[in-house]
Amino acid sequence: MPQPKYNLHLKGFVGGYDFDRDYVDYILAKNPGKPVNVLIDSTGGSLATALSISSAFKRHGDVSVHFVGMNASAATIASLGARHVSIDTAAWYLVHKCSNEFFKWSSLNADQMADLISALEKQKSDLDKLDAGVAAMYAAKCRKDPKALLDLMKVGGWLSAKEALEWGFVDEITDEPEDIAPKLTDATASAMAAVGMPIPNVPVADRESAIGKFFAAIAAMFRPGTAATPEITNHSNTPEMSTIILPALCAALALESVELSGDKATASLSVEQLAKIDKALSGNAADIKAKDTEIANLKARISELEKKPAETTSAVIDDKGKPDKPENPMDAFSASVRRAREIYDLLP
């Protein structure tokens, strides 16, 4: 099967920045009546977000999902609304029962224990209902009895691509050169262990040395700019061509992604989009000029005040132990000016 261009790349924590329901809704709304191809690579997250995305896929109608890497929990639920689901031959698939975080370290008397038991029984009842609902969704996709799916969720083991196909979770197995085989990192393994998720038998990623992490952290302290590196994904058989996803910029310009050729980015912009950019840049320049004028006036005022003799006072203010005072208007204004200058410096 030829590798399609992906309209959506959903990765990381379900409900996080890279797996967000609002951005999914935005992309689907930009493609009414058109096929939408989605790449998923996630070990799970928020059930609420997964249900919302699954419903959005179903309402759109023509959504195809492709799994790569290790996919579990909420990530698999999100795909249930898609019309077609494929999986890379090296990818993994896991379903398990729902869970709640629980922390309790205390000394309890009999009454307090009874209250805790009652609260836990309520949580258990809620989780049982969620498990039954999720099992029914899986069963509808797999065309199997919900009890069989609930039993599989109790086991919670990793399924190979072949096993996922045999169960009916996916419709097709692919073997594309662009799909990189998953590797297990220390962070991923720790996160899985923390929630009781089994560790899959996959290759372990090369570990970065402690000294390497130390120097990287030191370098980051002196590196200008702290913006996160945007996600760049190759989407064709030509390694030089890829896409870069910048949600804020794409949303402002009504773009799905920006094409990359080597280290150069290209995008087709309409006259309306160009006008938006020009208006925004003009507005920023005007705002910065106004701020510069205000700063000059304030500096002049400060200079006048410094020339006047200072008033004396015998009052002593003791604020030891008191919380920090809120930022005064002058500090807030200075911070705003600094931010405006930083934005202006980024302009070409």
Tens-place pLDDT, residues 26-53? 999 999 999 999 999 999 999 999 999 9
Band of the pLDDT at 228, cuts 50, 70, 90? very low
Q: 80: which DSSP letter?
A: G
HEC profile for 258-304?
EEEECCEEECCCCHHHHHHHHHHHHHHHHHHHHHHHHHHHHHHHHHH
Per-residue confidence at 236, pLDDT binned at 50, 70, 90? very low
User: CA of 71: how far to CAs of 88, 139, 156, 165, 313, in Å?
Assistant: 11, 18, 13, 14, 68
CB atoms within 10 A of CB 130: 16
Q: What value does the mean pLDDT of the chain take? A: 78
How many beta carbons lie within 10 A of that of residue 235, not counting itself? 20
Can you tell me the distance from the alpha carbon of 140 to that of 182, in angstroms, rounded to the nearest whole number? 28
Please tell me the CATH code under which domain 8-230 is placed.
3.90.226.10
| Strand bridging mode 8-11 / 264-266 | unpaired
**In the chain, what are the domain boundaries?**
8-230, 272-308+323-346
pTM to 2 decimal places: 0.54
In one letter, which amino acid is 169? F
Per cent of the chain over pLDDT 70 is: 62
Q: What is the mean pLDDT of residues 18-26?
A: 94
